[in-house]
Amino acid sequence: MSIIIRGGRIIDPANHLDAISDLYIRDGRIAAIGEAPTGFTADSEIDANGKWVLPGLVDLQARLREPGQKHKGTIASETAAAAASGITTLCCPPDTSPVIDNPAVAAQIAHRAEASGKARVLPIGALTQGLEGEHLASMQALHTAGCQVMGNAHRPITSTLVQRRALEYAATLGLTVFINAEDPWLVADGCIHDGQVSTRLGLAGIPECAEIIALSRDLILIEQTGVRAHFGQLSSARAIALIADAKARGLNVTADVSAHQLYLTDLDIGDFNSLCHVRPPLRSQRDRDGLRQALAEGVINAVCSDHQPHDRDAKLAPFAATEPGISALETLLPLTLRLVEEGVMDLYNAISRITCEPAQILGIEAGRLTPGISADICIVEPDHHWEISEETLISNGKNTPFLGWEMKGRVSHTLLEGKQVYPF
């Protein structure tokens, strides 16, 4: 099976490429860019005139809800939403039910993703058994079963000793650890940024220091253990300063931010808008601006969706009783492109934050258009204006505060391993 993608603007930050050209695909792999390889005959052709041809997006955190919460989403439904959004690789955190703390669960997820065939799903292995922060999970076995990285999802390991040992053991195996920095004692029953809005609404706050203190602890343990670590979904400007400092000291750390944190603040909660209930919470304008700047400067390496689809009832209750999270796969690309429109960063860098940079964090050969590698490709109509609505959302989760936002740039085709996975 050979495909030619003709006449598109090929933007591939990893290979410093930005040119109008043709892209050739053969046997699921990128065969060449520009000149046709010798003996190439196309079985089919995609006209990309006026469109952008990008590497398929890599999303560092997306919950698919399967196994365990199939009323919110399934691997089939959510990978379809990913395909429609140009995302070809996504990482599924281990807080499924059962937890991804044994090879069987990891294999089952990989198997179902393969069966649906819409996106590559990389399960993140649990750092501790049952995510309970007491006994180490079998990381070697998980790695063999396809877990590229390890993490404890949003279940902080409260014992500093267990955290240290988990990092030491992961370092022994040369595995990258994903960390969500959050001090559980300071979070307590908080559900919103601890600030002016929490005070006004009478909602229990999650102070910024919950992130800073957990991050500081873990940075010291990372320094001691030499593990490679990645901090996911940072929310505060002060956390960024600590990451910048750690990088300057030569620590092997990276960080990502979820796209909604680059746009929304606690003020968007208004009068108890449960669609803005997320963890970590939306923080202040100052934090949002700090995150944007850090992303532009590369202190934050990647943007993720932090996709969390919910059933309708999950958001239908008084604010604190609702479940946190946003259905976000379908806004990852348009929100990232919007940063370019708003002058936060240039197109080239913006695309790198959702393609080659996250791929590098995962240590996988993706997020680039290098000849010879798997043809994971996203084709975008850059000037297509569209509105986010419950009807446009393909995900089972319709829970997004971006409903009604006008977006610019829409995916027209997605290819996974040289096969068209969108349009379906």
Residue 238 CA to residue 309 CA, distance in Å, equals 29
Q: Does residue 317 touch another protein according to CB under 8 A?
A: yes
Interface with another protein, residue 196, by CB under 8 A: yes
Residue 245 exposure: Cα atoms within 13 Å on the Cβ side? 11
Span 272-301, contacts to another protein by CB under 8 A: 272
b/e map 22-38, b = 16+ CB within 10 Å:
bbbbbebebbbbeeeee
Q: What is the size of the binding site for another protein (CB under 8 A)?
A: 21
Q: Is 263 in the site for another protein (CB under 8 A)?
A: no
CB of 207 to another protein, least distance (A): 9
404 touching another protein, by CB under 8 A: no
Handedness of CA 186, 251, 262, 55 (dihedral sign): negative
Is the distance from CB of 237 to CB of 290 less than 8 angstroms? yes
Minimal distance, residue 230 CB to another protein, in Å = 32
Distances (CA, A) of 408 to 37, 263, 277, 387: 35, 15, 25, 9
- Closest approach of another protein to the CB of residue 206, in Å: 13
Please report whether residue 198 would count as binding another protein according to CB under 8 A. Answer: yes
316 part of the interface to another protein, by CB under 8 A: yes
Interaction of residue 200 with another protein, rule CB under 8 A: yes
Cα separation of 124 and 251, whole Å?
22
306 is catalytic: yes
Which string of b and e fits 56-95 if b means at least 16 CB within 10 Å?
bbbbbbbbbbbbebeebbbbbbbbbbbbbbbbbbbbbbbb
Among positions 52, 231, 319, 402, the unique one binding another protein when judged by CB under 8 A: 319
Q: Does 203 bind another protein (CB under 8 A)?
A: yes
210 binds another protein (CB under 8 A): no
Pick 43 or 313: Cβ nearer another protein: 313
Query: Is residue 37 within the footprint of another protein (CB under 8 A)?
Result: no
The residue from 42, 320, 344, 364 that contacts another protein (CB under 8 A) is: 320
Which residues contribute to the site for another protein (CB under 8 A)?
Answer: 194-196, 198-205, 270-272, 313, 316-321
